[in-house]
């Protein structure tokens, strides 16, 4: 099972039997059985027939509509039984200040620990790079988390840790690209563009997964409720950000992308991947997200996409008071 990414502008998605067919100019450019598809992501000007959507619904396959630059516009999903009991408990826990603060502390601790693990892994292969100041500051942030008396205080700790971490992240970039710090909305350079796109892809997967499991993705615990934001997905992605960062470093440091693969928005600010570069990125993203590794807790073979679900299921158990939450740990 894998995600299907449709980026060919002007293409049309049809169905024949239980197979999904993508055509452009009367030529078939893709023919794949639905049983091999986990989700369909459509970028930009791509059309689809109602028959194709019906077939996707029958197989429980969700369709996501995105702009050409990867911003999620909406999702089309089949009617399924929603876990109302989970949602009731989720909302109940939102009003429990102690629960919110405790789960938020675990999330922030997990994120910072993964940041440290990424720098530690990089330093093994590049002992000449000095991360002493960054690691000391991040360890200090970890020490401050148990003392945080409220979410605003915890947000301040997380924000300071992120600024320190991205200072160290810049030291891990090799080759022609430069990185002067994390910038977004829109990304002003190729490195920030790759980071933002990677975060967006994972965020979309997590938000869709949470909805499918019966959560309300818009009610989080670390991130407060805010109109239009899937705050629970914002919570859960924190522990996977270092995985996106590592993937971004892999693409950059292995010279898989060049400056010529990006373009500046002619109608405003922002840097984005060109169409052919976007196709390469999505291919590498799918390879990375489905690459197997041994889970440190279970000892079983897994991949990042499976870990998204595992962490969501852990969170559901915590909300139902069946266990204690533990974040995903980036392997060293």
CATH topology of domain 84-319: 1.20.120
The whole-angstrom separation of Cα 265 and Cα 277 is 16
Contact between 53 and 13 (Cβ < 8 Å):
no
The whole-angstrom separation of Cα 142 and Cα 88 is 32
pLDDT of amino acid 193: 95
Domain limits, CATH 3.100.10.20, in the chain: 2-76
pLDDT of amino acid 26: 84
Architecture label for domain 2-76: Ribosomal Protein L15; Chain: K; domain 2 (3.100)
pLDDT of amino acid 289: 93
Predicted model pTM: 0.88
What count of other Cβ atoms lies within 10 Å of the Cβ of residue 149? 8
The whole-angstrom separation of Cα 79 and Cα 83 is 12
pLDDT of amino acid 229: 86
**Sheet with 47-48, side-by-side order of all strands:** 27-33, 19-24, 12-16, 47-48
pLDDT of amino acid 106: 97
What are the backbone dihedrals phi and psi of residue 66, each rounded to the nearest 5 degrees, phi first?
Answer: -130, 160
The whole-angstrom separation of Cα 46 and Cα 2 is 20
pLDDT of amino acid 213: 83
Reading the block at residue 135, the tokens are 């690691």
Cis peptide before 186 (omega within 30 of 0): yes
Q: How confident is the model at residue 137 (pLDDT cuts 50, 70, 90)?
A: very high
What's the mean pLDDT in 169-197? 92
- Give percent of the chain with pLDDT exceeding 70: 98
- Spatial CA neighbour of 135 closest among 186, 94, 172, 182: 172
Go through the chain and tell me how many residues it has.
332
What count of other Cβ atoms lies within 10 Å of the Cβ of residue 130? 11
Give per-residue pLDDT as tens, 273-317.
998 999 999 999 999 999 998 887 777 889 999 999 999 999 999
Q: How confident is the model at residue 80 (pLDDT cuts 50, 70, 90)?
A: low
Give per-residue pLDDT as tens, 90-119.
999 999 999 999 999 999 999 999 999 999
Domain limits, CATH 1.20.120.920, in the chain: 84-319
Q: What is the DSSP letter of 77?
A: -
């Amino acid at each position: 099972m894998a995600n299907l990414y449709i980026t060919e502008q002007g293409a049309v998605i049809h169905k024949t039997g239980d197979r999904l067919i993508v055509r452009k100019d009367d030529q078939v450019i893709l023919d794949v059985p639905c049983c091999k598809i986990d989700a369909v992501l459509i970028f930009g000007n791509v059309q689809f027939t109602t028959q194709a959507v019906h077939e996707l619904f029958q197989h429980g396959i969700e369709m996501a509509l995105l702009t050409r630059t990867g911003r999620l516009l909406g999702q089309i999903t089949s009617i399924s039984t929603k876990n109302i009991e989970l949602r009731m408990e989720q909302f109940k826990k939102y009003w429990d200040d102690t629960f919110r603060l405790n789960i938020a502390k675990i999330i922030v601790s997990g994120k910072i620990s993964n940041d440290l693990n990424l720098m530690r892994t990089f330093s093994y292969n590049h002992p000449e790079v000095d991360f002493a100041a960054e690691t000391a500051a991040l360890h200090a942030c970890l020490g401050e988390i148990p003392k945080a008396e409220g979410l605003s205080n915890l947000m301040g700790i997380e924000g300071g840790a992120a600024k320190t971490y991205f200072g160290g992240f810049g030291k891990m970039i090799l080759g022609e690209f430069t990185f002067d710090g994390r910038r977004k909305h829109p990304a002003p350079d190729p490195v920030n563009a790759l980071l933002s796109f990677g975060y967006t892809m994972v965020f979309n997967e997590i938000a869709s997964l949470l909805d499918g499991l019966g959560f309300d993705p818009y009610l989080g615990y670390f991130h407060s409720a805010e109109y239009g934001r899937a705050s629970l997905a914002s919570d859960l992605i924190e522990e996977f950000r270092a995985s996106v960062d590592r993937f971004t470093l892999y693409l950059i440091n292995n010279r898989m992308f060049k400056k010529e693969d990006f373009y500046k928005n002619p109608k405003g600010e922002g840097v984005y991947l060109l169409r052919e570069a976007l196709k390469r990125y999505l291919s590498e993203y799918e390879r990375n997200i489905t690459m197997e590794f041994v889970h440190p807790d279970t000892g079983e073979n897994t991949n990042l996409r499976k870990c998204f679900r595992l962490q969501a299921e852990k969170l559901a158990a915590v909300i139902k008071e069946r266990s204690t939450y533990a974040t995903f740990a980036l392997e060293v």
